Amino acid sequence: MEGHFPDRGLPYLLVAPSVAIVLIFLLIPSGEALLQSLSRINPFTGAGRFVGLENFTSLLASEEYRHSIRVSVLFTAGTVLLSLSASLAMAALVNRSLRGIGIYRTALIWPYALSPAVAGTIWALLFEPSTGLITFALREMTGAAPNWMMSGSLALLVVILAAAWKLLGYNIMFFLAGLQAVPEELAEAAAVDGASAWHRFWAVTFPLLSPVTFFLLITNSLYAFFEVFGLIDVLTQGGPARATDVLVYKLYRDGFVSINWGQASAQSVLLFVLVAALTVLQFRYAGRRVFYT
Partner 1 sequence: MLMAMLALLSAGGAAYAQGPVKITLWHAMGGARYEAITKGIAEGFNRAYPNYTLEPLFTGSYAETLTKAIAAIRAGNPPHIVQVYEVGTQTMIDSGAIIPVTDLVPPGEINFADYIDPILKYYTVRGKLYSMPFNSSTAILYYNKDIFRKAGLDPERPPQTFDELEQMGRQILRSGVARGAVTFGWPAWIFEQMFAYHNKYYANNENGRAARASKVLFDQPFGVYLASRWATWAREGLLVYGGREYAPNRAFLAGEVAMLMQSTSQVSTIERGAKFAVGTAFLPRIPGQPRGKSVIGGASLWVLKGRGRSRSELDAIVAFFKYLNQPTQTAQWHRDTGYFPATQSAVRLLESEGWFAKNPNFLTAFKQIQLGPDTGATRGVLLGNFVQIRDITDTMLERIFSGRMTPAEAVRLAADEANKVLDEYLKTYK
Using CB under 8 A, list all residues that contact partner 1.
Answer: 40-46, 64, 128-131, 145, 147, 149-152, 237, 239-242, 253-254, 256-260
Closer to partner 1 by Cβ: residue 167 or 234:
234
Is the separation of the CB atoms in 168 and 90 below 8 Å? yes
CB of 88 to partner 1, least distance (A): 35
Name the residue among 65, 83, 42, 106 with its Cα closest to residue 266. 65
Pick between residue 82 and residue 264 the one whose CB is nearest to partner 1. 264
| Between 88 and 264, CB nearer to partner 1 | 264
Nearest approach in angstroms of CB 127 to partner 1 is 12
Q: What is the nearest approach in angstroms of partner 1 to the Cβ of residue 260?
A: 7
Q: For partner 1, which is the closer residue by CB, 55 or 72?
A: 55
- By C-beta, is 97 or 131 nearer to partner 1? 131
Give Cβ neighbours of residue 86 (< 8 Å, ≥ 6 apart). Answer: 164, 168
Per DSSP, which regions of the chain are E strands? 39-41, 48-50
**C-beta separation of 212 from 224 below 8 A:** no
Smallest distance from partner 1 to CB 144, Å: 12
Phi, psi for residue 98 in degrees, rounded to 5: -105, 165
Helices (H) and strands (E) in the chain, counts: 15, 2
Task: For the CB of residue 92, give the shortest distance to partner 1 in the complex, in Å.
Answer: 39
Q: Which residues pair with 50 in a beta bridge?
A: 39
